[in-house]
Amino acid sequence: MEVIKQVHVIRETVQSLRCSGKRIGFVPTMGALHEGHLQLLRASASENDITICSIFVNPTQFNNPDDYKLYPRTLEQDIQLLEIAGCNYLFSPDAEEVYPQQPLLHFSFGALEEVMEGEHRPGHFNGVATIVSKLFHFVQPHRAYFGQKDLQQVAIVRQLVKGLSFDLELVCYPTVREADGLAMSSRNKRLDTTQRGVATSLYKAMQLAKEQLGQEQVADIKANVAAYLQGIDQVKLEYFEIANPDSLQPLTKLEGEQEVALCIAAFVGPVRLIDNMLVNLNEA
């Protein structure tokens, strides 16, 4: 695997690969890789001629400076995992390489960025859209791979691809979970032993909500989830929504809905975690 740090080098490399007829799969990450990332990398390796992974902790999508500073950085371990997963190129630039000047463009995603993550993390999706646009221009992939755990981010990127006419296929893979249900996340590395034990409450809260779908009103289900988490030490709920899986707009009733997205964000100690679950109401 070749490690590339300069934008002009990744551009030249990609141009040569595309000219030789190679199909390129791309997995953008912020590092601290786990099985969720590796699932995407293995899928790319099996479906494309060349797999490129990026590792870049993007400063423009953090509205909390401490969160950016404390985000896990494990580049040496990540490189070993990438080689095992069949990655061909790692693009790992410095911030100055990606942002030679302060970005001035601003993206608007309408109602999609006014709820959940957009509501609680102002400017977050503008930062996501900025870096994803840059990476798509640098790497020019045929396919780009994302995980369902960041469901709202995937919806933002899907809208970005359509709105800017990026010539690529967006591929989304289901969330990978630990044996106890906790969604795999780079931020899990920041949890201490006690916090790791109670972090499963987010998944349990969604399971509770799933069991009540069709039996309780939406407002009552949300109240039950909040009450359940309120009784767990070190867990502070930020939001729980039952939303349309396409628009991600919160629902107040379920009549006429065939599928819903259960979306949750909570602090476990100082660490903010998110998760979601897609539920077919005909099977719930």
Phi, psi dihedrals of residue 282, rounded to the nearest 5° = -75, -15
At residue 175, the pLDDT reads 97
Query: How many structural domains does the chain have?
Result: 2
Q: Which residues are part of a known binding site?
A: 30-37, 61, 147-150, 153, 176, 184-187
Q: Are 163 and 199 members of one domain?
A: no
Positions annotated as catalytic residues are 37
pLDDT digits (tens, 9 = 90+) for 136-146: 999 999 999 99
Q: Which of 61, 57, 55, 95 has the alpha carbon at shortest distance from 77?
A: 55
Residue positions counted in the chain: 284
Q: What's the pTM?
A: 0.96
Residue 284 has pLDDT above 70, yes or no: no
**220 in a structural domain:** yes
Residue 159 CB contacts under 8 Å (≥ 6 apart), including other chains: 109, 112
**Alpha carbons 5 and 225: distance in angstroms, whole number:** 45
pLDDT score for 256: 84
CB 237 within 8 A of CB 213: no
Confidence (pLDDT) at 283: 81
| Binding-site residues for beta-alanine | 61
Q: How many helices (H) and strands (E) does the chain have?
A: 11, 9
Percentage of the chain with pLDDT > 70?
A: 100
What does the alpha-carbon distance between residue 106 and residue 130 come to, in Å, rounded to a whole number? 8
**Nearest of 105, 170, 183, 106 to residue 142 by alpha carbon:** 170
CB under 8 Å to 15, separation ≥6 — which residues?
A: 140
What is the average per-residue pLDDT within 246-254? Answer: 96
pLDDT tens figures, 159-180:
999 999 999 999 999 999 999 9
pLDDT score of 210: 97
Does residue 74 register a pLDDT over 80? yes
Judgement on whether residues 33 and 85 belong to the same structural domain of the protein: yes
**Is residue 142 located within the same domain as residue 270?**
no
Domain with residue 231: its CATH number is: 3.30.1300.10
- CA distances to 98, 143, 166 from 10, in Å: 12, 16, 18
Structural domain containing residue 202: 186-276
Name the more confident of 237 and 64: 237
Average pLDDT, the chain: 97
Same domain, 28 and 166: yes
Kindly state the percentage of the chain with pLDDT values over 90: 97
**In angstroms, rounded to a whole number, what is the distance separating the alpha carbons of residues 258 and 264?**
20
- Over residues 43-69, the mean pLDDT reads 96
Asked if the structure places residue 110 within a domain, the reply is yes
Closest CA to 196 of 269, 122, 141, 252: 269
**CATH no. for residue 144?**
3.40.50.620
